[in-house]
Structure 1
């Protein structure tokens, strides 16, 4: 996890007895952003103890937190992710305690120091190549577009899609309109790799000019490479087309597949 925007002096989350003693003496701050529905807390200020992050949630959110924990334990063999310090699960609740990662987010780096923009993009592309080079045969998690389309349909039917958060190009659209637009891009022939699932500037940590890890890996799994490329490309959009183009070139794509790019941008709107 990373330093982010916090609400200082918050009340600590309810803790299982097995976790409470170890966290005594920490100062708690609740993050102003994070996985939808999850309580995300930064724990710091305990003498001679490292900073930690805690995610806590109930019901479906507990399932998402459990998914993230299992993926972190697998990914750590290949790329740097937060260490799972402790995990507790009951039938309807989950607590995930993680180490804090060094550095700042790629977004913070680009916003605070616009001049090193190309170097940041080069570091992001290098890390993405490293992630996508993990053997697909070794990955136990399937996150391909058929799985995500099924989940997207469930979210639409449940009224869980935040249409007010759509990109500017789809402002005023309904979730059904996004769904219909997705169908026009099918069938899709995937180029399967191990993906992060939400490879955005907010989820990539940079220190001394290099990406030192990624966070929020609950959607990780085998999927088309454009699952990650589309989200990173979209995140870079606010910093200019030159950086978007550089990202593709540094990744190794001189001519991006626009159909796949648009499909995954549409799909991401539903999550």
Structure 2
């Protein structure tokens, strides 16, 4: 799950709906190469006196993903620091989402750049995750539990959309059906439902001056087992030190890790 801090390349401005044109006028453009999931992500920057913006654009099923993110951003804004929606356009075939930028480095960039601060960064990540999971489940209109995700995963598997070359090291050389069989063999799992981010990875958390300043890429947010988030973050930390993985669970204040749930959610993530 390692990503490069050099995550974007300059590019020309792209065609956008007329209703968004005034908002993006005068900006320089760069295309983001991390975590696009089939869509396109652009950072708009360099306009004197104006903050950076991000634009997401998707077509087909990616348009639905962009729409899902817009709806969740609007809802999450009452609970957590997330990008503010500056504009949104949806057509039958495409969607455009314009958002404010959250200040800071990604958590991955911060862990890479400041080795001495890694324990404090992990503590901040765990604290932010507990804050996310403290949102009242009764207030959340979105469902992302593993039954829902399993149905999505099966559709992706049957459609040939699973990238087996991107599997974690433990499953290199496996095919998608082997992962499916190993994953479903771990069911049933006792539910422990909270409001989850859905993709709580180091690239989706921003860190600045000793704190997590917010989260991005919230299109999968919804009620699910807390291990949906814990497993992804734990797996990301393997790029650094095993001690940080242990620290995560200690700071999060959970009991000894539930390895059955953790492994299930790691395998589930292979399908997305």
User: What TM-score do you get using the length of structure 2 for normalisation?
Assistant: 0.96
- 2:9 paired residue among 7, 10, 14: 7
The answer as to 2:200 corresponding to 1:199 is: yes
SS in 2 for 1:14: coil
User: In structure 2, do the counterparts of structure 1 residues 34 and 12 end up closer, same or farther at CA, with 3 Å as the change threshold?
Assistant: farther
Report the equivalent of 1:173. Answer: 174
Taking the TM superposition and a 5 Å limit, the aligned residue runs for 1:89-168 are 89-168=90-169
Q: CA deviation at 1:186?
A: 0.4
The whole-number CA distance in structure 1 between the counterparts of 2:136 and 2:155 is 30
SS in 2 for 1:115: helix
CA contact (8 A) 1:149 1:267 kept: yes
The whole-number CA distance in structure 1 between the counterparts of 2:246 and 2:23 is 47
Report the equivalent of 1:18. Answer: 19
Taking the TM superposition and a 5 Å limit, the aligned residue runs for 1:51-90 are 51-90=52-91
Q: Deviations over 1:145-180 (max 9, x none)?
A: 000000000000000000000000000000000100
The whole-number CA distance in structure 1 between the counterparts of 2:62 and 2:189 is 30
Q: CA deviation at 1:4?
A: 6.0
Q: Deviations over 1:85-114 (max 9, x none)?
A: 000111111000000111111101110111
Q: CA deviation at 1:53?
A: 0.5
Moved over 3 A (4+): none
Q: Deviations over 1:170-198 (max 9, x none)?
A: 00000000100111100111100000000
Taking the TM superposition and a 5 Å limit, the aligned residue runs for 1:206-221 are 206-221=207-222
- Of 12-21 and 191-200, the range deviating more from structure 2: 12-21
CA contact (8 A) 1:4 1:31 kept: no
The whole-number CA distance in structure 2 between the counterparts of 1:24 and 1:238 is 39
The whole-number CA distance in structure 1 between the counterparts of 2:33 and 2:134 is 34
The whole-number CA distance in structure 2 between the counterparts of 1:22 and 1:241 is 44
SS in 2 for 1:50: coil
The whole-number CA distance in structure 1 between the counterparts of 2:218 and 2:179 is 25
SS in 1 for 2:87: strand
The whole-number CA distance in structure 1 between the counterparts of 2:225 and 2:23 is 41
CA contact (8 A) 1:132 1:193 kept: yes
The whole-number CA distance in structure 2 between the counterparts of 1:13 and 1:141 is 32
Where does structure 1 lack aligned partners over 5 or more consecutive residues?
none
Q: CA deviation at 1:21?
A: 2.6
The whole-number CA distance in structure 2 between the counterparts of 1:4 and 1:147 is 34
Q: CA deviation at 1:130?
A: 0.4
Taking the TM superposition and a 5 Å limit, the aligned residue runs for 1:174-253 are 174-253=175-254
